[in-house]
Structure 1
Amino acid sequence: MSTPATTKAIVTGHSRGLGEAVAADLLGRGIAVLGLSRAANDTLASRHPGLLQQTLLDLADTAPLQAWLQSGVLAQLLQGARQVLLLNNAGVVQPIGALGGLDAAALARALALNVTAPLLLANALVAATGDAVERRVLHVSSGAGRKPYAGWSLYCATKAALDMHARASQLDAVPGLRIASVAPGVIDTDMQAAIRATPEGDFPLRERFEALKRDGQLEPPAQVARKLVDHLLSPDFGDEAVTDLRELYGA
């Protein structure tokens, strides 16, 4: 098992929400983190000088992401690591609504962020590291990728794509690669606030999500992040390509 000094992690969407909590948890364990997000996280940078590196990228804009991946910077950043971790956390639930009423540009950006970026990063990570390096890729998925919801055709489809990517990649049996798509449960983040602000006509189940907040059933990001990282670092990570934190650790 690698020590924190020989482990390096990449976390997308580390500027806030679950991504920030995951990055904080990893940094707290002494693991170096590269954060990829549109905005810097000054709080984490001040708490962990020298351990957090940040690259500002709009992961919904595929061309700059491809250019960065092709620049060779990733291989340089991962040099010397015996274990590398990729947590594909960044994602959006919008646009919400029925077909015919969705903005085309918003659809394209959501697809790029939720699906294209994670797949590009996973591919680049493996290409940038040798087979002697242990590679672990965790897609942050959702129960919505396994159960359809009215108004969430985009979100359900993109999370299902991550699940299938993990399943198929596991069958490839790439040496040193362990991959899993993990549903984290319902978390008290800005995404949940956006869901509750959606007109009921676009999302008929809005009341259910309002009740989760009202009844205190949303988990704090730090609590979920600890479980995610525990699972990512555990010996059995990747044994199941698709799983749910609630099944692993209880609701």
Structure 2
Amino acid sequence: MKIAVITGVSKGLGESVAESMMGRGVHIIGVSRSDNEKLNQKAEENGVSYTHYPCDLSSQEELESVFSRINQHVKEQSPQKVYVVNNAGVVEPIDRVGALDANQVVKHVHINLIAPMLVTNMVVEQLADIDVDIINVTSGAANRPVYGWSTYGGTKAGLNYFTETTAFEQKQRGGKHRTVAFSPGVMDTDMQADIRSSSEEAFADVEKFKALKEEGKLRSPSVVADGLMKLLDEGFESGAVYRVDQLID
């Protein structure tokens, strides 16, 4: 039995990864603020289970409560393999340093960085005897400055370092967990719509992102999910960062 725990499962890449894994016989535990009825139907069609846990990942207390229950549920199933996909993320606030909204910054850091750190910490502690692959969804913005994306790029850079360090520690300790950062590139999702709605004063590259949409250059989440499946099938170096364009044509 294989189980995947996917955050941000209600739409976008999280939904597509869940559908792809269901097609491979993987049982899904989805985490998001709202459920996705489509996934219930997909699970039934593929003969697997889909269990949804509502959770606001910006709340430490709620996250710890929910993932304690999830990890207990996983242990009770005695799976031979578990995937944990830290996919949930936000892009706001989009603005220059000096004009950032403090409340948005705090919420952003909680969802994009603190949440995957806490989830990983709990998995490593509570599922120590289970073979687990932890996939952290990152961004190319982690590697270069983008005007207006200091918060987004900063959290993704932190996530990459956290991924690398977790892998290093597991290797040193002879642990059963592997972790990888996966950069999905530009996708046709609600996040991209948020980006395109930015002002040029807040986000200098907004016209470039509008052009990507107009020219049909945004990948669908299902295509990106296929790239992630290929990475999991072919194997990966724990702690490394992989870009989707390395995996698909």
Residue of structure 1 in register with 2:141 after alignment: 144
Within the alignment, does 1:225 sit opposite 2:222 as a pair?
no
Residues 116, 136 of structure 2: 8 Å contact kept: yes
Residues 31, 55 of structure 2: 8 Å contact kept: yes
Q: 1:119 aligns with which of 106, 117, 135?
A: 117
| Mapping for residues 85-234 of structure 1, pairs under 5 Å | 85-131=83-129, 133-172=130-169, 173=171, 174-234=174-234
Within the alignment, does 1:43 sit opposite 2:38 as a pair?
yes
Secondary structure at 2:247 match in 1: helix
Residues 167, 238 of structure 2: 8 Å contact kept: no
Cα distance, 1:61 vs structure 2: 1.6
Secondary structure at 1:76 match in 2: helix
What CA deviation, in whole Å up to 9, does each residue of 1:118-162 have, x standing for no partner? Answer: 11111111222233x211011010000111101000000011011
Residue of structure 2 in register with 1:245 after alignment: 244
| Mapping for residues 43-82 of structure 1, pairs under 5 Å | 43-49=38-44, 51-70=49-68, 72-79=69-76, 80-82=78-80
Cα distance, 1:77 vs structure 2: 2.8
Distance 2:66 2:190 in 1: 28
Residues 98, 151 of structure 1: 8 Å contact kept: yes
Residue of structure 1 in register with 2:20 after alignment: 25
Unaligned stretches of 5+ residues in structure 2: none
Q: Report the CA distance shift for 1:240/1:74 in structure 2 as closer, same or farther (over 3 A).
A: closer
How many equivalent residue pairs?
A: 242
Q: 1:83 aligns with which of 81, 96, 102?
A: 81
TM-score for both structures, normalised by structure 1: 0.92
Distance 1:109 1:204 in 2: 23
The letter of the residue matching 1:246 is D
Distance 2:40 2:247 in 1: 31
Distance 1:240 1:167 in 2: 4
Residues 38, 58 of structure 1: 8 Å contact kept: yes
TM-score for both structures, normalised by structure 2: 0.92
Cα distance, 1:232 vs structure 2: 2.4
The letter of the residue matching 1:17 is G
Sequence identity, in percent?
35
RMSD: 1.5
Distance 1:248 1:19 in 2: 18
Distance 1:47 1:180 in 2: 27
Residues 32, 53 of structure 2: 8 Å contact kept: yes
